[in-house]
Amino acid sequence: MLMSASAYRELQANPYRPWPARITSIMDLTEHEKLFELRIIDNEVREAFKFDSGQFVELSIFGVGEAPISISSAPSKQGFIELCVRNAGDVTGALHRKQCGDVVGLRGPFGRGFPFSEMKGHDVLLVAGGLGIAPLKSLINHIHDDRHDFGKVTILYGARNPDEVLFRYQFDMWKHRDDFDLKLTVDEADDTWTDGVGRVTGLFEELDIDPSVTYGAICGPPVMYRYVIDEMREKKMDVDKIYVSFERRMKCGIGKCGHCGVGHQYACVDGPVFNYWEAMNLQEAI
């Protein structure tokens, strides 16, 4: 049954109320991560749901709680969104026990995403570590959909070991494209691994970029940011063209709980994406 116009207006006006969404697909990525595809049930709400790469939603498991999750799908994929979720707590654990057809709640989208329009006409260097590839996957696929608007696209991704590498099916596709330069590495390899071994910063040694036309985007464990930025700055990239995501600091989504404070700003409202010039002026950011 369609939602009435008055109910829809109430839903839009109340940022605390989740939108019911149905799980339409579940894919096992690793032992601890799954990829969930969700479809907002109400047609009017679904059509109004628009987001940018780098934004996030609040996922509600009714009777359990909610958690902030970055959107993994591209904005051009309309009608559905994808969330890559690690089983790491009560809410995410409850989600991992759900099945296709079950209903959850969504609030959002929230925050500020990557400057997609500004990046057009430029080369792009994307660096991810671990689960940080989830929000960057949205940006990569968005670039893929408008590939003619971008120059050289380089993707660097590092994980702890081959078993923790996410989106292998996606990497296989990117590897066979001439217009994407994908480089993978793990801290500890096994007999099946044929790509790089070592920290993701080691991939910069073989990297050839033109800093005057290159935008950078970074997402991963906070400990990696300073070292990756050092490598980008070594390549002479501009501080206002390097973007970082503080997606691990997200909380309520609307700047009320105060848990995502980064210096004098809130990651869930003013971010989670900041350029490095902004991040340098945020206390305890990097």
Task: Give the DSSP letter string of 157-202.
Answer: EEESSGGG---HHHHHHHHT-TT-EEEEEESS--TT--SEES-GGG
Q: Biggest alpha carbon distance in the chain? A: 60
Backbone angles phi, psi at 129, to 5 degrees: -130, 130
Angle, CA of 213, 219 and 223, to the nearest 5°: 115
C-alpha closest to that of 247 among 104, 114, 78:
114
The reported pLDDT for the residue numbered 47 is 85
pLDDT band at 286 (very low <50, low <70, confident <90, very high): low
Strands of 56-61's sheet in order across: 65-70, 56-61, 103-110, 19-28, 33-40, 81-86
Q: Which of 10-24, 42-56, 166-180 has the lowest mean pLDDT?
A: 10-24
**28/102 Cα distance (integer angstroms):** 17
Residue of higher predicted confidence among 173 and 129: 129
User: What radius of gyration do the chain's Cα atoms show?
Assistant: 19
Residue with tokens 């702890």: 160
**73/55 Cα distance (integer angstroms):** 11
Q: What's the average model confidence in pLDDT over 62-87? A: 92
What DSSP state is assigned to residue 282?
A: S
Tell me the β-bridge partners of 218: 127, 244
Backbone angles phi, psi at 168, to 5 degrees: -60, -35
C-alpha closest to that of 150 among 184, 114, 116:
116
What DSSP state is assigned to residue 4?
A: P
Residue of higher predicted confidence among 281 and 206: 206
Give percent of the chain above pLDDT 90: 64
Domains of the chain as residue ranges with CATH: 5-110 (2.40.30.10), 116-280 (3.40.50.80)
C-alpha closest to that of 198 among 209, 188, 212:
188
Is 0.85 topped by the overall pTM?
yes
For residues 246 and 113, the answer to whether their CB atoms sit within 8 Å is no
Q: What's the average model confidence in pLDDT over 101-109? A: 94
Q: What's the average model confidence in pLDDT over 166-195? A: 88
C-alpha closest to that of 183 among 192, 118, 165, 148:
165
| Tens-place pLDDT, residues 32-60 | 999 999 999 988 888 888 899 999 999 99
The reported pLDDT for the residue numbered 246 is 83
**122/201 Cα distance (integer angstroms):** 22
**37/29 Cα distance (integer angstroms):** 13
The reported pLDDT for the residue numbered 279 is 79
The reported pLDDT for the residue numbered 1 is 42
The reported pLDDT for the residue numbered 184 is 94
**85/45 Cα distance (integer angstroms):** 23
